[in-house]
Amino acid sequence: MKIDKMHGLISLFPTLIYRDPALIGNYDLVQTEVKNCLLKIEEEKDYSEVSWIHEEARILRDKKREEGSEHSYFIKDDLIGKYNLIELKKRIFEAVERYVTVTQWGRIYSDPKFNDINNGKYKIKLRNSWMNIQSKGKSHEWHCHPGYTIAGVYYMRVDADKGGIQFQNPNPIMQWCHFPEGPRSSQSIEFIPNPGDIILFPAWLMHNTVNNKSDEDRISVAFNIDLIVAPKLDDPGNGIQDFENKGVNELLQ
Ligand SMILES: [Fe+2]
């Protein structure tokens, strides 16, 4: 790509983040499903698919680590599978389709030789998912999601008081202290999502959540997505099938 007409200050290389708002047709369905899931988790006190930022989930995870039953950084959480959140899964897949379309991300996964199935299109694989219950005074430190293509969050209960999600500027110029902060060059940007929104971003992008100042818990569902080439059915040796139709727990066996 060449630029020959622009002059003055030119902003190059944006980071492509996608905010997918709920539609009238799916807002209630998904919100109800996630609310019921939260109620079940709280009733049964089963925090196995809840992020460690929740106190009881952290205690459970520390205990598992001490016992040696959970010692890897591989994320095994499968909230969506365990609670059969079909409306949320549908909503996530639709949002990812839109993100991949507007960014043209799918082009690197679409290979004409795979045309015999799925029209040579990439496939979306939901690798894991978990619930974030962020109570008053809690925040989530800077991190990224290594090993995955796209990271995403569905927001069930959020507002400015409960804290948005902050993204860190990945441009190295901002980390080297030789460039001033400004509207076009901030260290980080906070997004305040609306309930029902999905935010999708490259999994390598550093992000955190800010302190929840409200008395109510901030509730979201986070997940990781991989895009893969649709595998050829008659070619079991290409390695891709190892992941086909398998949940994260099966992959670990
Ligand atoms: Fe995250």
Domain boundaries, the chain: 18-43+78-230
Mean pLDDT for all residues in the chain: 86
Q: How many CB atoms lie within 10 A of CB 48?
A: 16
Token look-up 């090993």 returns 147
8 alpha carbon to ligand 1 midpoint, in Å? 36
Question: Which of 61-70, 109-118, 188-197 shows the lowest mean pLDDT across its residues?
Answer: 109-118
Strands (DSSP E) along 112-249, which ranges?
A: 122-134, 140-143, 150-157, 165-168, 188-191, 198-202, 207-209, 218-229
222 CA to middle of ligand 1, Å?
A: 7
Percent residues over pLDDT 70 in the chain: 84
Distance from the alpha carbon of residue 219 to the mean position of ligand 1, in angstroms: 13
Task: Return the pLDDT at 220.
Answer: 97
Q: CA-to-CA distance for 121 and 155, rounded, in angstroms?
A: 29
Give distance in angstroms: CA of 19 to centre of ligand 1: 15
Q: What angle do CA 162, 87, 42 make, to 5 degrees?
A: 50
Cα of 207 vs centre of ligand 1, distance in Å, is: 6
Please tell me what DSSP assigns to residue 229.
E
- Please, which pLDDT band fits residue 75 given cuts at 50, 70 and 90? confident
Instruction: Match 């960014």 to its residue by tokens.
Output: 103
| Of residues 79 and 244, more confidently modeled | 79
- Structural domain 18-43+78-230, CATH architecture: Sandwich (2.60)
* Cα(2) to centroid(ligand 1), Å: 35
- Say how many Å lie between the CA of residue 183 and the centre of ligand 1: 25
Task: Calculate how far, in angstroms, residue 234's C-alpha sits from the geometric centre of ligand 1.
Answer: 37
Say how many Å lie between the CA of residue 116 and the centre of ligand 1.
Answer: 36
Question: How many angstroms is it from 123 CA to the middle of ligand 1?
Answer: 22
The answer, yes or no, to whether residue 237 has pLDDT greater than 50, is no
- Report residue 60's pLDDT band, with 50, 70 and 90 as the boundaries: confident
Higher pLDDT, residue 67 or 187: 187
The SS3 call for residue 230 is coil
Say yes or no to pLDDT of 242 above 50. no
Distances (CA, A) of 205 to 81, 162, 201: 26, 22, 7
* Residue 59 in this model has a pLDDT that exceeds 60: yes
